[in-house]
Chain A
Amino acid sequence: MSTAGIVSSFSVLDGSIAVLSLVATLWIGLRVKRYIGTIEDYLVANRGMGLYVGAASLLSTEVGIITYMYQAQFGFVAGFSAFVVGLITLAVCLLVGRTGFVITRLREMEILTVPEYFQRRYGRGVRVLAGVLMAFGGSLNLGIFPIIEARFLAIVTGIPSQYLGWTMAALLVVALVYTAIGGMVSLIVTNYVQYLFLAAGTVIVTLACLRQVGWSGMVRAVEGHMGGHGFNPIEDLGVGFILWQVLLWIALMTVWQSVAMRTFSTKDAAVGKKMFTLTGFLFLGRALIPMVWGIAALAFFWGRSEPAVAPSAATPAAQMEQVDARLGETFRRDLDAGRLERALPQVDLLERLARAEKPRSAEAARFEDSARDRRGEIGLLAMPWMLAATLPTGLLGLVVAGMLAASISTYAGYFLGWSSIIAQDIVAPLLRRELSGRSRLRLTRVTVVALTVFIMIWSLVYDLPGPAYFYLQVTANLFMAPTLIAVVGGLYWRRASATGAVLSFVLGASTSLAYLVPSLKVDVATAGNLSWALAVAGFVAGSLLVPPAVTSTPPVGGAGRQEVRS
Chain B
Amino acid sequence: MIHLISSLVRKPGRRITGVAGAPAAAVGPDEAASRARGPRTASPGKVAAPGGTSGTVALSVHHLTKRFGARAAFEDVSFEVGYGEVFGFLGPNGAGKTTTVRTLGTLLAPSSGSATIAGIPLAPENGVEIRRRISIMPEAPGLYQRLTVAENLECFASLYEVPVPRERIELALRAVNLADRAGDPCGSLSKGLRQRVALARALLPDPQVLFLDEPTSGLDPVAARDVHELIDGLRQRGVTIFLTTHRLEEAERLCDRVAILNTTLRIIGRPGELRERLFAKTLTVKTLVPLPDPGRVFSGLPGVDGWRQDGASYVIAISDLATATPAVTRALVHAGADVLFIGESRHSLEDVYLQLIDQDAEAGEQ
A binds B: no
Which residues of A are in contact with B by a Cβ distance under 8 Å? Answer: none
